[in-house]
Chains A and B, each alone.
Chain A
Amino acid sequence: DQQVKQNSPSLSVQEGRISILNCDYTNSMFDYFLWYKKYPAEGPTFLISISSIKDKNEDGRFTVFLNKSAKHLSLHIVPSQPGDSAVYFCAASARTTDSWGKLQFGAGTQVVVTP
């Protein structure tokens, strides 16, 4: 039973335009959310995170939005660049003793940025 869902397996966007990646979760105990980026033949790398006490976090071209009532978060990339072509994973963790540090990942969204 996947607690973190990325319903769009792929996304194609033109260079310079906005990429919007979506993620839904079902566990109301999740209070920390992260986005990871993964290139082929490499491990995932941390991109940006957000705590449940916030509804927005921005880092350069990347902004994550959190809607707790809808159990939904999104990642905006503006403007999209060819180097952004990668698989993006949404992840979540819960602030409970037995869940410390354990992340639940979504299935990933493959982003392709075209010229």
Chain B
Amino acid sequence: DAGITQSPRYKITETGRQVTLMCHQTWSHSYMFWYRQDLGHGLRLIYYSAAADITDKGEVPDGYVVSRSKTENFPLTLESATRSQTSVYFCASTGRRDTQYFGPGTRLTVL
């Protein structure tokens, strides 16, 4: 399907485990982003990527790792999950400066 997809949609894990959230877009957009949404904070940028093999930190990058070997994929890894990383995670992409297109989100619970 065309667009931007995220998997899994829901994930429950335990403290200390590694978790990878997947993001895939079919528009060949250069830019991709990972956000987390928490009550009272809106969406905060974790990492972004300007192109394949080019990534950079956002506002809240600690505890997260990203990679982008292919233009269409932008996985986000929590190397050792903590309870404070319980959140809803959104992936987004854009081919131009203004409008970002968001995926449906992944709700992650860390026990």
Q: Do A and B come from one complex?
A: yes
Does A66 sit within 8 A of B, measured CB to CB? Answer: no
List, in ascending order, chain B residues with CB within 8 A of A108's CB: 42
| A-B complex: 4 closest residue pairs judged by Cβ atoms | A43-B102, A105-B42, A105-B43, A107-B42
User: Do B98 and A49 touch across chains, with their CB atoms under 8 A apart?
Assistant: yes
User: Do A103 and B103 touch across chains, with their CB atoms under 8 A apart?
Assistant: no
User: Do B104 and A46 touch across chains, with their CB atoms under 8 A apart?
Assistant: no
User: Do A46 and B105 touch across chains, with their CB atoms under 8 A apart?
Assistant: no
B107 (CB) vs chain A CBs: closest residue: A41
With A42-B105, A43-B105, A44-B90 given, is the CB distance from A101 to B42 under 8 Å?
A: no
User: Do A101 and B104 touch across chains, with their CB atoms under 8 A apart?
Assistant: no
With A32-B98, A49-B99 given, is the CB distance from A102 to B105 under 8 Å?
A: no
A95 (CB) vs chain B CBs: closest residue: B97
Give the interface residue-count category, chain B.
Answer: 20 to 34
List, in ascending order, chain A residues with CB within 8 A of B41's CB: 2, 107
**A residues near B, CB below 8 A?**
2, 4, 6, 32, 34, 36, 41-46, 49, 89, 93, 100-103, 105-108
Does B100 sit within 8 A of A, measured CB to CB? Answer: yes
User: Do B105 and A101 touch across chains, with their CB atoms under 8 A apart?
Assistant: no
List, in ascending order, chain B residues with CB within 8 A of A106's CB: 42
Distance between Cα atoms of A103 and B48 in the complex (Å): 11
User: Do B103 and A101 touch across chains, with their CB atoms under 8 A apart?
Assistant: no
User: Do A45 and B98 touch across chains, with their CB atoms under 8 A apart?
Assistant: no
Could you give, for residues 58-70 of chain B, a 1 whenever the CB lies within 8 Å of some chain A CB and a 0 otherwise? 1000000000000
With A32-B98, A44-B90, A45-B102 given, is the CB distance from A102 to B58 under 8 Å?
A: yes
Does B52 sit within 8 A of A, measured CB to CB? Answer: no
List, in ascending order, chain A residues with CB within 8 A of B48's CB: 101-102
